[in-house]
Structure 1
Amino acid sequence: MTELHLPWLELCVLVPLLGALVVARFREPTDARIYGVTFSIITFVLATCTWLDFIWMRASEAQDRFHLLSRLTGHELLQLDEISAPLLPLAAMLFALTTVATVRSKGRRFSFFWTLITESILLATFSCKTPWLLISLLTLATLPPFFELWTRGRATGMYMCYMTLFVVFMIVGWSVAMAEGGPTAHSHSLYSIIPLLLAVLIRSGIFPFHSWVPDFFDKSSFGSAILFMTPLTGVYAAVRLVVPIAPTEVMQGMGLLSLFTAVYAAGMALVQVEGRRMFSFLFMSHSAMILVGLEMANVQGLTGALCTWISVSLSLTGFGLAMRAVEARFGRLQLTNYLGLYEQMPLLAVCFLLTGVASVGFPGTMGYVGSELLIDGAVGTYPLVGIAMVIATALCGIAVLQVYFVLFTGTRHISSISLRMGLREKIALLTLVILLFAGGVVPQLNIASRHHAAEDLLKDRGILSTPHAFEPWKQWLAPTTAHLPAPKAHPHD
C-alpha cells in the first residue's frame, strides 16, 4: 500500500514555490493574478488531500504513510499530528480565497509572488515539529512582509525592530533549552522559558508588545496583512515551543497578560476611527483569548481554545475581506461619518455582518461551540477569568456592530455606478459564510478533532486535566468553591 500513497505533504509545500517562480515571470498584474489564483487553488486541493490522507491513516491505524523527505534525507522533517493536520487546509483555503477575492484595483499593490512564497513557508511551518527547523521557518516567514513594505516605499523600522526581537528571543530561548537537555528534560530554567514566551507574545501582539500590529496593518497591503496574521502563527509557536516545556507559573503569566490584552484590545477596537486599526485590535483581542485558553489545564477549555483558533481564522479573514472590498471602492475607511452603503451593496453588507458576528461566537456559527467551551472551561477553573473573557467578547461584538452601522446605515449613499460585489468577491465571501454556518450546524467533526489535540497537548505538558495549584498572589483567581466549607455527614450515615 505504501506505493499507492502520494507525498501529499511535500507537494502542498512545493507547489506554491513553483507557482511563485511562474508568477515572477509576469510584469502585468492581470496575468500574475490568473496564475496566482490557479496555484493557490491547486495548493488548497493538495492540502485537503493531505488532511484526508492523515484521517484515513489514523482511522486504519496504518503506519506506512509516504514521506518523500524521509526517503531522501533519512529524517522526518515534515510531519502531521492531531494539532496541525486541519491547519494545512485551513491556511491553504485562506490564501486561495484571499487571492481569488483580489480585484483588479488591488492587483498592483497585492504581491502574488510574495503571497505564494508566504503560503509555502506557512504550510511548512504548520507541518513542522522539530524546534530548530520551526524556528528557521518562523524566521523566514518574517521576510516576505518586509520586502513588500520595502518595495512599496513604506517605513519598516517598527516591523523590523519587533521581528528582530522575535527571532532573537526564539534562538536564545531554545539554545538555552537545548543546553539544559532539550524537550526531554524534566525541567527548564526561566533563562530558556522567558525568551521563548516573549517571542510568542511579540508574534501574537500581546500587551505590551502590540504596537507593531496596528502599524503593520496601516502600512502593508490589507490582503497581505490579513494572511500574515489570521492563521495565528504565534499561537502555533506557543503550542510547539512554550507549552510542552513551560512550568505552570509561566503559563499563568502568559494567561494573565493575554487576558489583559483581550479586554484592552476589545476596548480599543470600540474607539478607533480608522477601519484597519479597528480590525487590528479586534484581531489582537481574539488572539489573546486563544492564548488564555492554552494556559488552562483542563480538556474542556483547551478544546475550546483550539476550536476557536479555527473559527477565528475563518471569520476574521472573511471580515477582513469584506472590509477590503469596501476599501477597494472607497479607499481607506474612516469611521467618523455614516456612509449608508447597504442599498448599494446589500450582499456585501450581509457578509460583513455575518463574518463579524461569527468571530465573536454568534449562535449558529462555528465559533459558538468553541467559545462556549472556552468560557466554560475558564469559569470552571478561574471564575474571574471567565467573566473577563465574556466582557472582552461582548466588547468585540459591540465593535463589529458599530462598524457595520457606520458603513452601511445612517444615511443613503447615491452612486452613478454599481458598487455591488464582483463574482470573485462573492465566491470568496460566500464560501467563508457557508463554512462558518455549516460548522455551527454540524460541529462534531471539528470538536472531536480538537478534543484529541487538546488531550495530546495535556500529555505533552505532563499534567492531568485538573486545575492548578495557586500561589498566594493568585488566590483571587481560584474557584469560588475552594472557600466553601466541607459538606457535613448525614446523621443516618
Structure 2
Amino acid sequence: MGGFPILSLMLLVPLAGAIACLKLQAQAARTVALTATLIDLALGILLWLNFDVGGAQWQFQERHAVFSSFSYALGIDGIALLLIVLSVFLMPVCIGASWTSVTKRVGEYMAAFLLMETLMIGVFASQDLFLFYIMFEAGLIPMYLIIGVWGGDNRIYASYKFFLYTLLGSVVMLVAMLWMANTAGTTDIPTLMAYDFSPQAQTWLWLAFFASFAVKMPMYPVHTWLPDAHVQAPTAGSIILAGVLLKMGGYGFIRFSLPMFPDASAQFAPLVFALSMIAVVVTSLIALVQHDMKKLIAYSSVAHMAIVTLGLFAFNVQGLEGSMLVMLSHGLVSGALFLCVGVIYDRLHTREISRYGGLAINMPRYALFFLLFTMGSIGLPGTSGFVGEFLSLGGIYQVSTWVALAGTTGIILGAAYMLYLYRRVVFGEQKNADAAAMPDLTLREYLMMIPLGLAVLWMGVYPESFIAPMRQDIAALDARLARVKPAYDGKLIVGKGAPLAHEEAHGEGGHN
C-alpha cells in the first residue's frame, strides 16, 4: 500500500457519511449510510489482502504529533486487523436490518451508526494510549443514543444503566493511563507493551484496567447491564453491541492487561477463572428459563465471553488463539441470531417465545438460516463456534482440568438452551394464526443472512485463514507471558506437590 493512509480513510468515510446523514431526508440517509458502510467494507477487504502475514508486527502505521503528550498514531497487527474486518463486515448488515423498521429521525439514527463505526475502527487501530481512550469512551455516546431514542418501552432505564456501568469502570482506567504515561515517558502502545512496570505497580494498574474491561466484556457479576441493553435496543443496536462492542473488553485484555502487566495477570488469573466459571454455568442456567428471545441470546453472550476470558488467562498459544476465534465467531453468530429475532419481530412485534411455533411450515428458508446460526452458537464441528471453543478449552486444560470441566459444562448447557429455543420457535404445532401467516424471508433479508451464513461456515471449515494473520502476534504475546505461566494441575509429583519441569508441564505450545 506504500504510504497510503488507508486507516485514516476508513475513519473518515463513515464520519463524513454521518455528517451528511444529519442533513438528509430518510431515504437519502439510508442510501448514504449503506454506501459509506459498503465503502468501508471494501477498504477492510483491501486492508486484509495487503496485510503481510509474517511481516512486520505493526503495519499501515501513521503518526502525527498533535501536542507533546498526544499523537494521532494509527497502526494494526493481525489481531486488530481481524476485529476491524469484523466491524466493517457487520455494519452494512446493521443498516440493512434498520431499513424499514426505523421510521423516526432516520438521519440521526444512521449518523449514530456511522459515528460508531468510526470509533470502533479507531479503538482497534489506535497506537497512542490517549487516542485509544478517547475512541474507547466516545463509543458509548452513539450506543447510548441508539438505545435511549430508538429502543423499546423501557429504553431510558436501559440506556442509563449501560452508560453508567461502562463509564464508571473507565474513569479508573484513565487515572492509570496518566500514571503509566508519566512513569514510562511515552504514550506509544507498542512501546508500553514491552515496558516492564514494577510488580507492585502492575497490581494496581491491572485492577484499574480490569474495572473497565470486565464491564465491557461483560464479566460476572458486572454483566447485568447487558440483558437490559439488548432487550431495549433496536435489532441493529443488538447486532453491533454483541458483534463488536463486547469485543473491546477482550481486545483490551490482549492489548493492555496481558502484555503490559504480565505479573499481575498471573497473580489475578485465579480470580478471572473463578468469575468465568461462575458466569459460564450461572448465565447458561438463567438462559434456559427465559421467555424473551433477545434476553436468552444476551445471557448466552455472557457465557460465551466467559470462555474468552478463560482462554486468555490460560497463558498459552492455544488459549489465546482460541479466545480470538471465539470473539470473531461470537461476533458473527450472535449478530446473526439477533438478526433472526429481528426478522420475526418486524412481522409480529413480539419477542415472546410462546407466541411462535411451527415456523418451519410457513418460513422454511428462515428456519434453515436460524438452524445454521443455532449450530454455530452450540459449536457444531464445521461451524465457526467449534474451532474457537475447542482451542480455548484445549488451552485452559493445559492449566487446570477443573476449570476446563466448568467451561465444557457451559457448552453442554449452551446446546440445551439453544436447541430448546429452536424447538419452541421453529418446530411444533402452529398455535397462533398470526405467526402461521408470516411470510418467509424477503430479498433484503436474504442479502443480510447469506454473507453471515457463509462467514460462519468459512471460519468453521478453513480457520487457518483467520489464524494466520494473528499467529505471529499471539506467539509474541505468549513469549511475553512465558515466565509467568502456571503449572499444570494434573502433573504434580505425588507426595511433594512440586510441578514437573516447565516443558513437560506445558509442552511447547502451538497447535501445529
Common topology (TM > 0.5)? yes
- CA-to-aligned-CA distance 1:59-80 (integer Å, 9 cap, x gap): 56699x6655549999561100
Question: 1:97 matched to which residue of 2?
Answer: 93
1:446 paired residue number: 466
Give the distance between the partners of 1:209 and 1:119, measured in 2 at CA. Answer: 25
Offset at residue 456 of structure 1 (A)? 2.3
**Identity rate, percent:** 23
Matches within 5 A, 1:20-59: 20-28=18-26, 30-55=27-52, 58=53
Aligned to 1:81: 77
Counterpart CA distance in 2 for 1:483 and 1:394 is 32
The secondary structure found in structure 1 opposite 2:491 is helix
- Is the 2:238–2:338 contact (alpha carbons within 8 Å) kept by the matching residues of 1? no
Alignment RMSD (CA, Å): 2.6
The CA deviation at 1:251 is: 3.2
* CA–CA separation in structure 1 for the residues paired with 2:61 and 2:463: 31
What is the rounded CA distance, in whole Å, between the counterparts of 2:57 and 2:129 in structure 1? Answer: 26
* CA spacing shift, 1:71–1:211, aligned 2, 3 Å: closer
Of 248, 258, 281, the match for 1:233: 248
The reply to whether residue 215 of structure 1 matches residue 228 of structure 2 is yes
Question: Which residue, out of 260, 265, 270, partners 1:252?
Answer: 270
Q: C-alpha distance in 2, partners of 1:97/1:284?
A: 23
Q: 5+ residue gaps in structure 1?
A: 470-477, 487-493
Structure 1 position 157 matched with structure 2 position 160: yes
Alignment pair present for 1:197 and 2:205: no
1:380 is matched with which residue: 368, 393, 398?
Answer: 398
Residue deviations 1:293-343 (CA, integer Å, cap 9, x gap): 110111122111112211111111111111111111112311245522121
Matches within 5 A, 1:93-492: 93-108=89-104, 111-152=109-150, 154-155=156-157, 156-181=159-184, 183=192, 184-187=195-198, 188-231=201-244, 232-246=247-261, 247=264, 248-336=266-354, 338-412=356-430, 414=433, 419-461=439-481, 463-464=482-483, 467-469=485-487, 479-484=489-494
Deviation at 1:254, TM superposition (A): 2.1
Deviation at 1:163, TM superposition (A): 2.1
CA apart distance, 1:460: 4.1
Tell me, in whole angstroms, the C-alpha distance in 2 between the residues paired with 1:62 and 1:273: 47
The answer to whether the 8 A contact 1:338-1:405 is kept is no
Tell me if the contact between 1:83 and 1:450 (Cα under 8 Å) persists in the aligned partners.
yes
Q: Residue 450 of structure 1: CA displacement?
A: 3.6
Instruction: Give the conservation status (yes or no) of the 8 Å contact 2:238–2:335.
Output: no
After TM superposition, give the deviation of residue 117 of structure 1 in Å. Answer: 0.5
User: 3-state SS of the aligned residue for 1:367?
Assistant: helix
- More displaced 10-residue stretch of structure 1: 122-131 or 173-182: 173-182
CA distance change for structure 1 residues 459 and 137 in 2, over 3 Å: closer, same or farther? farther
> Distance in 2 between the 1:452 and 1:360 partners?
29
Q: How far 1:26 sits from its partner (Å)?
A: 2.1
TM-score between both structures, scaled by the size of structure 1: 0.88
Structure 1 match to 2:506: none
Deviates more, 1:256-265 or 1:382-391: 256-265
Q: Secondary structure at the match of 1:481?
A: coil
Q: Is the contact made by 1:353 and 1:401 (CA closer than 8 Å) also made in structure 2? A: no
Give, as a single letter, the amino acid of the residue that structure 1 aligns with 2:33.
G
Separation in structure 2 between the aligned mates of residue 84 and residue 62 of structure 1, nearest angstrom = 11
**Contact map agreement 1:270 1:398 (CA 8 A) in 2:** yes
Q: TM-score, normalised by structure 2?
A: 0.85
